Structure 1
Amino acid sequence: MQELIVVTGASTGMGAATARELAGRGFHVLAGVRKDKDADAIRADGIEPVILDITDPDQIAALAARVEGDPRAVRAVVNNAGIAVNAPVESLSMHDWRWQFEVNLFGHIAVTQALLPALLRSKGRVVNISSVGGKIAMATYGAYAGTKFALEAVSDALRRELAPLGVQVVVIEPGGVQTEMAGRGIATANRLVTGMTREQHERYGDLVQAITAQATAFTKAGLPAGDAAKVIAKAVTVRNPRTRYTIGRDAAVLSRLPRILPDRVLDRILAANLRPHYPAKR
């Protein structure tokens, strides 16, 4: 029988591309979106949109009920939903810190918990979309990278818990990918700058501008979302998946640097790469 796959955060970017890639391979995809207009945009043969805010317990329960009421086996859940909130540790409000973790970590855990009974029955797969930021944390990425480091740790624990039960857990670590989320993250960073105090702006204003310029260039040079979707689909479908897949050459390189370089050396390399993006001094 045709198998089910749940993809969260399927409105745009990698999530939408992954839903289409998996539907094209013959799966029935339950594509999590937050708005009716996004549901209309993603609906297609093999793609059934479901309204899903992964921070909303009622919507998660409705998704679980939808899955439980379907006779088809659940091949995988792809935890893809996420946001990027980048700002210096000092200036980011505790509300924004908590919201970043609510979406990028706790929401994934909640969805996974709700769908695990079905995954255990089908011996399915959990695919968590992390980031190169789950291996290396650049300046102003404390909150975002913190959620991804945590997701990596939770994935390791979950993999070791579920392996004896026949459920596999895979982590995906994208680098630069051309997605709407990257653009929204840059816009959010620009908005947060305006909320800094004068002293914070003096300390971090140039840094945030440099990071934003670097992120823009990084995203522009990144892979198309469709290419990233093929890697995710491989993680879902290959018989014996690796525990981790990187997406893009940049991710492959950056994810290895913390393992082979001393912290101070890595600090200098990151600072040197950022330097050309600083605003010119008048």
Structure 2
Amino acid sequence: MTTSSENQELVVVTGASTGMGAATAHELARRGFHVLAGVRREADGEAIRTAGVEPFILDITDPEHVAALPSLVGNRTLRAVVNNAGVGGIGPVEVLPLDDWRRIFEVNLFGHIAVTKTLTPSLVRSRGRIVNISSLNGKFAMAGYGSYSASKFALEATSDALRQELTPHGVHVVVIEPGGVKTAMAGHGPAGVDHVAGKMTRDQSARYGGLLHAIPGHVAAFTAAGVTSEVAARTIARAVTDRRPRTRYTIGRPAAVLTRLTRILPDRALDRLAAADLGRHYPSA
């Protein structure tokens, strides 16, 4: 006798092509869920397809893709939506073009809001939960990462509002705050730096050249010290399955420590901490 996905609780995972998203889809399938795994390309879907993982094409910034989600879910029990899709953002606030800011917010914030709004009726019916993948950078901003941090700070605030709005209706809203995770996104750092450096004026190069030199090394070191996607996926799966989930889960020791420090240290002390962390990667001259 075959087991039909119609008899399994569903979880929708966005950004499931690689990294944490793919690992989370497989971890949840291992725990008995049927996972609708949103990917950008057919080849990505075939790479992650396995028992319990059903890939489908999803660009969370495409209104037609988002509008199709309720029909994919149908009348099945939707246990959770894991809003994991995301893009990085590197560059000083003065330099990064506004179009880049808009693209980052379209993916890291507005796309998640669109998915959440569309699937909220299904989640209310099933008393499910929303799991938003934020970041340590959603609590702790650093020079050169302003656009990415801003999008994650905004996601944190949106999650707090959602939690207050939906808790009375039986829907849990959970935020995940990873520190370093060994994913493919970290490899995009040098390309992002080149993109920004090519747009700087001579004066801007004098102001930010050292910072842009430091960022790729900082990203590489932070990622190398991080956890694997599989370890991160187990925490995300806990957020989906814990009977009484916490409002926030951190992933990795740096995230646990730094999110606590943001609550007790004054701003200037946090500035010095961030500057010292980046300073190790500046040119020596």
Please state how far the C-alpha of 1:220 moved relative to its aligned partner. Answer: 1.1
Aligned pair partner of 2:114 in 95, 110, 116: 110
AA of the residue aligned to 1:268: R
* Corresponding position of 2:172: 168
Segments of 5+ residues of structure 1 without an aligned counterpart are none
Match of 1:151 in 2: 155
The alignment partner of 2:68 has SS state of helix
Q: Which runs of 5+ in 2 are unaligned?
A: 1-6
Equivalent in the alignment of 1:20: 26
* Per-residue CA distance 1:64-87 (angstroms, 9 max, x = gap): 22112xx32000000000000110
| SS of 1:84 mapped into structure 2 | coil
Aligned length: 279
Runs of 4 or more consecutive aligned structure 1 residues displaced over 3 Å after TM superposition:
none
1:126 counterpart = 2:160: no
Measure, in 1, the Cα distance between the counterparts of 2:56 and 2:189: 24
- What is the TM-score when the length of structure 1 is the normalising length? 0.97
Judge conservation of contact 1:83–1:185 (CA < 8 Å) in 2. Answer: no
Asked whether the equivalents of residues 138 and 149 of structure 2 are also in contact (C-alpha less than 8 Å), the reply is yes
AA paired with 1:42? I
Matched AA of 2:153: F
Alignment of 1:195-274 (within 5 A): 195-274=199-278
**Structure 1 pair 263–6 and aligned structure 2 pair: CA distance change class (3 A):** same
CA distance in 1, matches of 2:270, 2:283: 23
Q: Deviations over 1:17-76 (max 9, x none)?
A: 0000001111000000011111111111100001000000000111222112xx320000
The answer to whether the Cα contact below 8 Å between 1:186 and 1:215 also exists between their aligned partners in 2 is no
Q: Contact conserved, 1:21 with 1:229, CA < 8 A, in 2?
A: yes
Q: Which residue of 1 aligns with 2:63?
A: 57
* CA displacement at 1:221 relative to structure 2: 1.2
Alignment map for 1:182-201 (pairs within 5 Å): 182-201=186-205
Q: Does the Cα contact within 8 Å between 1:35 and 1:51 map onto a contact in 2?
A: yes
Over residues 111-145 of structure 1, what are the superposed CA-to-partner deviations in whole Å (9 max), with x where a residue is unaligned?
A: 00011111010000000000000101000111100
Partner SS state of residue 256, structure 1:
helix
TM-score, with structure 2 as normaliser: 0.96
RMSD: 1.0
- Note if contact 1:13-1:225 (Cα within 8 Å) is conserved in structure 2: yes
Q: Which moved more, 1:23-32 or 1:177-186?
A: 177-186
